[in-house]
Amino acid sequence: MSITTRFAPSPTGRLHVGNIRVALHNWLWARKNAGCFLLRLDDTDAERSTEENAEAIRADLAWLGLVPDDEVRQSDRFALYGREFDRLRAAGRVYPAYESAQELDLKRKILAGRGLPPIYDRAALALGDAERAALEADGLRPHWRFKLDHDAPIVWEDLVRGEQRIDPKLQSDPVIRREDGSWLYMLPSVIDDIEMGVTHVVRGEDHVTNTGLQLQMFAALGATPPTFAHEALLTGSEGKLSKRLGALGADALRESGIEPLALAALLAKIGTSDPVEPVADMAALIEGIDFARFGRAPARFDLDELAGLNARTIHLMPFAAVADRLPAGIGAAEWAAIAPNLSTVAEAGDWLAVLSGAIEAPAFGDEDRDFLAEAAKVAASLEWDVDVWSALTGALKAGSGRKGKALFLPLRQALTGQDHGPDMKALLPLIGKALAVERLRAASR
d(CA 182, CA 44): 7
Q: Which of helix, strand or coil describes residue 34?
A: coil
Give whole-number Cα distances, 241 to 157, 229, 237, 404, in Å.
Answer: 28, 21, 8, 46
Q: How many domains does the chain have?
A: 4
- What domain range is 373 assigned to? 358-444
CA distance 66 to 261: 11
Q: Do residues 168 and 117 both lie within one domain?
A: yes
Q: Give the per-residue pLDDT at 45.
A: 86
Whether 138 is covered by a domain: the verdict is yes
Q: 359-370: string of b/e by CB count within 10 Å (b at 16+)?
A: bebeebeeebbe
pLDDT value of position 249: 83
Predicted confidence (pLDDT) per residue in 174-221, tens digit? 999 999 999 999 999 999 999 999 999 999 999 999 999 999 999 999
Q: Are 62 and 27 in contact (CB under 8 A)?
A: no
Paired residues of 229 in beta bridges: 202
* Residue from 172, 168, 191 nearest 85 by CA: 191
* Residue 47 pLDDT: 86
CA nearest neighbour of 200 among 218, 227, 224, 230 = 227
Are 308 and 350 members of one domain? Answer: no
Q: What is the 3-state secondary structure (H, E, C) of 36-53?
A: EEEEEECCCCCCCCCHHH
Burial of 67 (0-12, 13-18, 19+ CB in 10 A): exposed
Whole-number pLDDT of residue 200: 98
Instruction: Please name which of 39, 40, 33, 37 lies closest in space to residue 2, comparing C-alpha atoms.
Output: 33
pLDDT at 388: 96
pLDDT recorded at residue 432 = 95
350 plus 373 within the same structural domain: no
**Domain at 84, CATH number:** 3.90.800.10
pTM of the model: 0.91
243 belongs to an annotated ligand binding site: yes
Residues 334 and 297 placed together within one structural domain of the fold: no
What parts of the chain have a pLDDT lower than 70?
1, 237-247
- Segments of 167-272 assigned E as strands: 175-177, 200-204, 227-231, 234-236, 239-240
| Three-state DSSP state, 144 | strand
